[in-house]
Amino acid sequence: MVSFFCVLFTFFFLCTHVSSADTISADFTLSGDQTISSSGGTFKMGFFQPATSSNFYIGMWYQQLPQQTIVWVANRDKPVSDKKTSLLKISNGNLVLLDGNNQTPVWSTGLNSSSAHDAVLQDDGNLVLRDDSGSLLWQSFDHPGDTWLPGAKIRYDKRTKKSQRLTSWTSVEDPSPGLFSLELDESTAYKILWNGSTQYWSSGPWNPQSKLFDSVPEMRLNYIFNYSFFSNATESYFTYSIYNKANISRLVMDVSGQIRQSSWLNNNNQWNLFWSQPRQQCLVYSYCGSFGICSSKSQPFCQCPRGFRPKSQKDWDLKDYSAGCVRKTELQCSRGVVNQFLPLTNVKLPDNLEVWGITSFNTCGSACLGNCSCMAYAHDESSNRCLMWTKDVFNLQQFEEDYSEGNTLYLRLSASDMPSSSTSGKSNKAVIFGAVLGSLGAIALVLLAVIIMLRYCRRKRMRGEKSDGTL
């Protein structure tokens, strides 16, 4: 009896041990459909394909959730085309992804003179590279992708003055680093940047008294997360954990340019958006790319002005608007081809402007028309300043009708792309008036002709009757 239990126990132990390997080692590599799972069964790692992409990546996702949610990608910008011939293994003291038949390395943990022994997927979603003695050499938490898992830290290094970055995917099917990133700065504030430099949101500095970020007062209402901020002479970071270990939650630097905290709802079997910043999509800097117009009233938020089309319809369909819009007909201004200006009314003016001078509206327009490097202009009525844009215009926002602070931006277009009805309101009315007058005149002429005809006929008939009578 005892021995039976022993056998059963050993069998069970062996089985679970084999099916739930959490370690990549000299004896265990990853290829094809093989995966590793964290010891508590929370995370899984292996090859995956994002959305409809034909590329393969090494990624990490929640094991129990019915929809695959990727939280970390190893080879973000270096996909492989065949998972069967690719191999993730410990090689020369690093964790390395080898591609295809010629086994070229496409991704590596990249440590110099490293002596890695194995890599363990932990239950918190951290992949840890260890040496013989079990001490840490490298961890995925130090190389975040777009997802900030509970327990991870996004640090600011006070010695190098550099921050770790959470970076959005390029699109839903391309995990390579996109234009939006979240990082911590010297002032203990997290900020969201566009293209690594233009800041469009800040959490405000950490307030040690109230234990929240100054511009995120809603943190006060929290009862789910345990927030903490750490700072010493060498580094500072914020981190969070979840009081109830059964809850699943993650913060993502999303392709929309917003940071989004979502929690998994078991009842609905889906992610529930819990909190996001900036709240309005159009406050994400240059969300619609060059010449794209962001409007909170339109669906999708990004539109191209008349005479423009999405630069890449494929990316546009994947909700990646960053490439923006291009003119349907290229300008051939320097060759003397006639251009005109399309007025965009009630918009937020793009910021990369140049003040050309103090002029009247008309002088401003003709100055822009006369200089082929002028892409757009606007005239500020109150100061009589003539504003010009000589590069692509970014961050165009359409204000709503009830908002009166907007300006009119005049975009240079090839004359053939000008919507014919918007040339000038006045002349339009004149044309319509003329047309109406013209048709009225024609009707009058026809009536006159009919009357003359009738009279002529009647007279003729009367004459005929007379002659009949005489006959």
Ligand X SMILES: *[C@@H]1O[C@H](CO)[C@@H](O)[C@H](O)[C@H]1NC(C)=O
Contact footprint for ligand X (CB under 6 A):
110-112, 195, 224, 226, 228, 232-235, 241, 244, 246-247, 263, 354, 371, 373-374, 388, 390
Minimum CB separation of residue 436 from ligand X in Å reads 44
Minimum CB separation of residue 60 from ligand X in Å reads 21
Minimum CB separation of residue 217 from ligand X in Å reads 20
Classify residue 399 by its DSSP letter: P
Closest to ligand X by CB, 36 or 387? 387
Minimum CB separation of residue 394 from ligand X in Å reads 8
Minimum CB separation of residue 263 from ligand X in Å reads 4
Contacts of 240 (CB under 8 A, 6+ apart): 150, 225, 226, 227, 228
- The Cα–Cα gap between 114 and 94 comes to 7
* Residue carrying structure tokens 């991704």: 107
Any idea what the Cα angle at residue 436 is, between residues 431 and 442, rounded to 5°?
125
Minimum CB separation of residue 262 from ligand X in Å reads 10
Minimum CB separation of residue 204 from ligand X in Å reads 21
By C-alpha distance, which of 352, 401, 354, 409 is closest to 376? 409
Closest to ligand X by CB, 111 or 418? 111
Closest to ligand X by CB, 16 or 244? 244
Closest to ligand X by CB, 63 or 108? 108
Helices (H), 130-175: none
Minimum CB separation of residue 199 from ligand X in Å reads 14
Would you say 261 and 275 are in contact if contact means Cβ atoms under 8 Å apart?
yes
Closest to ligand X by CB, 46 or 144? 144
Would you say 272 and 262 are in contact if contact means Cβ atoms under 8 Å apart?
yes
Closest to ligand X by CB, 51 or 233? 233
Which H helix or E strand runs over 433? Answer: helix 425-470
Minimum CB separation of residue 194 from ligand X in Å reads 8
Cα Rg for the chain, rounded, in angstroms? 34
129-167 per-residue burial string, b: 16 or more CB within 10 A, e: under 16: bbeeeeeebbbbbeebbbbbbbebbbbbeeeeeebbbbb
Closest to ligand X by CB, 81 or 226? 226
Closest to ligand X by CB, 86 or 126? 126
Closest to ligand X by CB, 102 or 232? 232
Closest to ligand X by CB, 102 or 112? 112
- The Cα–Cα gap between 239 and 213 comes to 12
- The Cα–Cα gap between 378 and 391 comes to 14
Contacts of 113 (CB under 8 A, 6+ apart): 93
Strand, coil or helix: what is 265? Answer: strand
Minimum CB separation of residue 49 from ligand X in Å reads 27
Closest to ligand X by CB, 40 or 441? 40
Closest to ligand X by CB, 209 or 268? 268
406-438 per-residue burial string, b: 16 or more CB within 10 A, e: under 16: bbebbbbbbeebbeeeeeeeeeeeeeeeeeeee
Which H helix or E strand runs over 317? Answer: helix 313-317
Minimum CB separation of residue 63 from ligand X in Å reads 17
- The Cα–Cα gap between 37 and 129 comes to 15
- The Cα–Cα gap between 109 and 129 comes to 9
Amino acid type, 366: S
Q: How many CA atoms lie within 13 A of 396 on its CB side?
A: 30
Minimum CB separation of residue 229 from ligand X in Å reads 10
